[in-house]
């Protein structure tokens, strides 16, 4: 190594560390195991809790038939099937950390839409294996509760990176302004953190602003007692601030 090799650290963006965060680090391995184990029964959960928010998101996602669409954290593929249905002439890609979830979703799609260009894969979406500006639209439902704060920033920055300028990023969060629901959620989460994560809805809008996307629609709804918040965001065509957080190693060679 030459003496001219040195590490250049860009100034860290001011992030408010969250006090007493019950999920200071993403526990991906445990989350993968839990969701892998329940892939076959998970559609019920979507049916009872997520259906309404999915429908609102789909309507406002800006997706047009023929687009290149990405859904991250597809679970058992309920939203993914709707995306494929409206994008019959395009390509729809769905990713999930849990291989059983990805495989289950892929099988259903092959049965229902054998001709569709629809592909599911087991990928940890904190790093997206795609080139910059690849997608016309990205959808993400009920994932960020399972990620640490740093990983939420990272995942938002990745979504912004692979979304084309002007494209839409649609995000669904679990709302936290319903005291009884929030209390029950906290109880469940304390027992199975890897399944429930924790509530982060109130902090995410600011994180989105820092990622280089801007919120163009903010809608709250309930399905039974289950409260959701849908944020429709647009790529603001500016570099993601979160990326400035990474250290660069500059290797100057003679």
Q: Does residue 98 touch ligand SAM according to CB under 6 A? A: yes
Q: How far is the CB of 96 from ligand SAM (least distance, A)?
A: 5
Give the sign of the dihedral formed by CA 169, CA 211, CA 135, CA 38: negative
Q: Does residue 73 touch ligand SAM according to CB under 6 A? A: yes
CA distance 79 to 50: 9
Closest CA to 13 of 214, 235, 211, 159: 211
Q: Does residue 198 touch ligand SAM according to CB under 6 A? A: no
Q: Does residue 124 touch ligand SAM according to CB under 6 A? A: yes
Question: Which residue, 72 or 240, has its beta carbon nearer to ligand SAM?
Answer: 72
Question: Which residue, 101 or 116, has its beta carbon nearer to ligand SAM?
Answer: 101
Among 23, 35, 90, 156, binds ligand SAM (CB under 6 A): 35
Q: How far is the CB of 249 from ligand SAM (least distance, A)?
A: 26
Among 93, 97, 207, 208, binds ligand SAM (CB under 6 A): 97
Phi and psi angles of residue 165, each rounded to the nearest 5 degrees, phi first: -55, 135
Question: Which residue, 85 or 237, has its beta carbon nearer to ligand SAM?
Answer: 85
Q: Does residue 93 touch ligand SAM according to CB under 6 A? A: no
* Residues pairing with 214 in the sheet: 234
Q: Which stretches within 114-238 are classed as H helix?
A: 149-162, 179-191, 193-196, 204-210
- Report helix, strand and coil shares of the chain as percent, to nearest 5: 40, 25, 35
Question: Which residue, 46 or 176, has its beta carbon nearer to ligand SAM?
Answer: 46
Q: How far is the CB of 158 from ligand SAM (least distance, A)?
A: 10
What region, left, alpha or beta, does residue 143 occupy, with left being phi > 0 and alpha being psi -120 to 50 degrees?
Answer: alpha
Among 69, 93, 118, 143, binds ligand SAM (CB under 6 A): 143
């Amino acid at each position: 190594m030459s003496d001219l090799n040195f590490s250049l650290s860009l100034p860290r963006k001011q992030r408010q560390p969250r006090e007493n965060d019950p999920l200071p680090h993403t526990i991906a391995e445990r989350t993968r195991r839990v969701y892998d184990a329940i892939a076959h029964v998970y559609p019920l959960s979507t049916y009872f809790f997520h259906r309404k928010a999915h429908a609102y998101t789909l309507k406002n996602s800006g997706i047009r038939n023929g687009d290149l669409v990405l859904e991250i954290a597809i679970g058992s593929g309920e939203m993914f099937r709707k995306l494929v249905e409206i994008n019959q002439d395009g390509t729809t890609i769905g990713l999930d950390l849990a291989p059983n979830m990805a495989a289950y979703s892929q099988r259903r799609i092959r049965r229902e839409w054998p001709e569709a260009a629809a592909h599911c894969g087991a990928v940890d979406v904190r790093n997206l294996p795609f080139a910059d500006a690849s997608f016309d639209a990205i959808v993400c439902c009920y994932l960020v509760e399972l990620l640490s704060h740093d990983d939420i920033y990272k995942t938002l920055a990745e979504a912004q990176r692979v979304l084309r300028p002007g494209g839409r990023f649609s995000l669904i969060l679990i709302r936290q302004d319903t005291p009884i629901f929030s209390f029950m959620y906290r109880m469940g989460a304390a027992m199975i953190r890897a399944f429930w994560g924790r509530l982060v809805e109130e902090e995410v809008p600011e994180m989105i602003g820092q990622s280089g996307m801007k919120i163009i629609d903010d809608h709250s709804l309930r399905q039974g007692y289950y409260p959701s918040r849908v944020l429709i965001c647009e790529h603001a065509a500016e570099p993601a601030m979160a990326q400035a957080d990474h250290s660069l190693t500059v290797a100057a060679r003679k």
